[in-house]
Amino acid sequence: MRKHSRHLKRKRKKKFNIYFICIFVFFISVIGVGFYFYCMDGKDHCSEKIKRAKEHLNKKSEIQEKKTPLPKYNEKLDVSNDGRLVGAMPESANQHGYSSLKVWEILQSNYFPPLEDKKTIFLTFDDGPSGNTEEILAVLSKYKIKATFFVTGSAVQHNPVKLKKIYEEGHALGNHTFSHVFSILYPGGVLNFLNFNNEIEQTEKQIQFVLGESFYTRSIRCPGGSMSWQGMDSLFEDFKNKGLASIDWNAVNGDAEGGLKTASELVNKCKETAKYGINVILMHDKDEKSETVKALPEIIEYYLHQGYQFKILI
């Protein structure tokens, strides 16, 4: 009797275990299938989101392309085909201008023979307009020399009257980004394409706000020089597609190197480095660079005496 009831108990226990295992397997299956569908759903949401983002980006770049159609350059007139100005006032561009696209090629070639048999200087002033702009303009005016000013959008914002004066006195303008802040333009030493292009666009708008929408410049000077950063190839490709030129330099007066230099040190540095047939000289139009202004007459006289012509980048 006892034996029989033990047998019954074992049988019930066994039955219970089978039920328990079945229920357990059932729940695991339900959870598994549910999880699978949840994941699939998530994936779909995810891929849908990426698809939508891509569509949005494509639309955005289409809009941007439509918004800023860059006109084709007319070499003869030094104005664009749709009548927009290039870099400087038309009279000055015709008389003193030289294609920045060609100068970009020359600077890349590392071979600097005289330009059309004439030894040539391009004086370039970066970072302005500043508290020194008017003095620089006065020196240039005295010698009837034209120069190229690579302005930042933020400086233009603060000195619109000075920008107008630069332009009206027949000098050329180039775009030197808006903020000039390396960590925005090249975080970690690598180009941020979007930030850089946004700043070029903002600066162009800022210049146009002062000079009118018919103005635009093809000359871009990358802050710190285009050779100092990684990932610039995409930018150069973009410049080529838009008809823009990256203008570095092959000579300096040294006003941005090391500590403050005296005017005579700047003159010497310029004579040492600007000794080619074609020279793009880097100088600065900044509040603290007053020695640059003092050195300018001697630099101009030295090169005039050597028979150089002075050109502007358009």
Q: Catalytic residue among 171, 176, 180, 284, which?
A: 284
Choose the stretch contacting Zn ion; rule: CB under 5 A; options: 121-129, 212-220, 246-254, 260-268: 121-129
d(CA 198, CA 129): 20
Contact string (CB under 5 A) for Zn ion, positions 212-231, x = contact: -----------x--------
Closer residue to Zn ion, CB minimum distance, 120 or 226: 226
Alpha-carbon 115 to chain mean position: 27
199 binds Zn ion (CB under 5 A): no
Tokens representing residue 84 in the block: 């927009």
Name which position in 93, 119, 126, 286 contacts Zn ion (CB under 5 A): 126
Shortest spacing between CB 174 and Zn ion, in angstroms: 11
Residue-level length of the chain: 314
Closer residue to Zn ion, CB minimum distance, 92 or 202: 202
Shortest spacing between CB 223 and Zn ion, in angstroms: 5
d(CA 226, CA 249): 10
Shortest spacing between CB 62 and Zn ion, in angstroms: 33
4 as an active site residue: the answer is: no
d(CA 47, CA 163): 49
Shortest spacing between CB 127 and Zn ion, in angstroms: 4
Shortest spacing between CB 152 and Zn ion, in angstroms: 7
Closer residue to Zn ion, CB minimum distance, 126 or 199: 126
Which residue type, as a one-letter code, is found at position 120?
T
Closer residue to Zn ion, CB minimum distance, 78 or 255: 255
Quick one: CA torsion of 156, 90, 236, 104, rounded to 10 degrees? -110
Q: Catalytic residue among 78, 126, 127, 255, which?
A: 126
Nearest partner of 311 among 266, 279, 284, 289, judged by Cα: 279
Residue nearest to Zn ion (CB): 126
Shortest spacing between CB 150 and Zn ion, in angstroms: 7
127 binds Zn ion (CB under 5 A): yes
285 binds Zn ion (CB under 5 A): no
The DSSP annotation for 57-87 comes to: HHHHHHHHHHH-PPPPEETTTTEETTS-EES
Alpha helices in the chain (DSSP H): 2-67, 90-96, 100-109, 133-142, 153-158, 160-168, 182-185, 193-211, 233-242, 263-273, 290-305
284 as an active site residue: the answer is: yes
Closer residue to Zn ion, CB minimum distance, 115 or 266: 266
Exposure string for 67-97, b = 16+ CB within 10 A, e = fewer: eeeeeebeeeebbbeeeebbbbbeebbeebb
Closer residue to Zn ion, CB minimum distance, 85 or 223: 223
Q: Contact positions toward Zn ion, by CB under 5 A?
A: 126-127, 223
Query: Which are the catalytic amino acids?
Result: 126, 284
